[in-house]
Amino acid sequence: MDDPKRNILNAASSMFLDGGASALNVRAIASRAGISTIGIYSHFQGKQGILDALYIEGFQRVAKAMDVIAAGADPSLADSRLAVLKACRNYLDSAEQFEAHYRLIFDNAERGYEPSREAKAVGAQAFKVLNDLVAHLLPAAASKAKRHDAAMQVWSVVHGFVGLKHHAVAQLVDMRHWRARAMQVLEILVDAIAGGKTG
C-alpha cells in the first residue's frame, strides 16, 4: 500500500544526503515523492515539518538502537558492560544505515534547519536512554553529574568514529575496519568507566 508520508520522508532524506537542508524545497520534494505540493503541506505543513519529522525519526532510531535492556532490569556489572557495548554496536550500525537522519541530527555545519521544541525533546530522550544504560556501569551512589559525564564519554567516542566515517577524511585514511576500531576503543573506555578510572 502506497504511503504518501513515507514517500515524502524518503524523498527528503535522499535529497538531504545530496545537498543538506538548504537543497530541500517543497516543490523539489513533491516532485521526487510523486505528490503535489499541497500534499506536502497537508502532511507536514512544509519544509520545517518534514525536517522535524526526519529529526524525530532519527533520534527515535538512535534511542531504539541503544535500548538493549528490558525495562526494570538490573543487570550485573558484566551484563552492563555487554549491554553498553551492544548498544554502541547498534548505534554504529544505525548511523550507517540511516545516514541522512544521522547527518541531520548531528551535523553542526548544517545551518539551514533549527529543530522544533518537540524535536529537541525527542533528542534529549535518546540521550537519557544512553545515560541510564551507562549508569549501570557505575556504583549506585554515583552522582548525576558522574553518570552524565560517563554517558558523554561513550557518546563522544561513538559519534567521533561515525563523524570520521561520514567526513571527507574517510577518503584520506583507511576506514574499511572503522567499526572494529571503534569497538576496540569503546571496550577500553567502558572498562575504564566500570573500574572508576575515568573522570
What domains appear along the chain, each with residue ranges and CATH number? Answer: 48-194 (1.10.357.10)
Which cell goes with 94?
544505525
Place of cell 528490558: 70
Position 74 pLDDT exceeds 70: no
CB neighbour class for 9 (10 Å; exposed up to 12, middle 13-18, buried from 19)? buried
Tell me the per-residue pLDDT of 186-196, one tens digit each, with 9 for 90 and over. Answer: 999 999 999 88
Identify which of 63, 162, 157, 153 has the alpha carbon closest to the alpha carbon of residue 103. 162
Tell me the per-residue pLDDT of 80-138, one tens digit each, with 9 for 90 and over. Answer: 888 899 999 999 998 888 887 887 777 644 556 788 899 899 989 989 999 999 998 99
Position 2 pLDDT exceeds 60: yes
CA 65/CA 58 separation, integer angstroms: 11
User: Whole-structure pTM over 0.75, yes or no?
Assistant: yes
pLDDT tier at 147, thresholds 50, 70, 90: very high
Which cell goes with 125?
530522550
CA 63/CA 67 separation, integer angstroms: 6
Tell me the per-residue pLDDT of 149-179, one tens digit each, with 9 for 90 and over. Answer: 999 999 999 988 888 877 656 667 777 788 8
Strand, helix or coil for residue 100: helix
pLDDT tier at 72, thresholds 50, 70, 90: very low
Segment 47-73 shows an average pLDDT of: 81
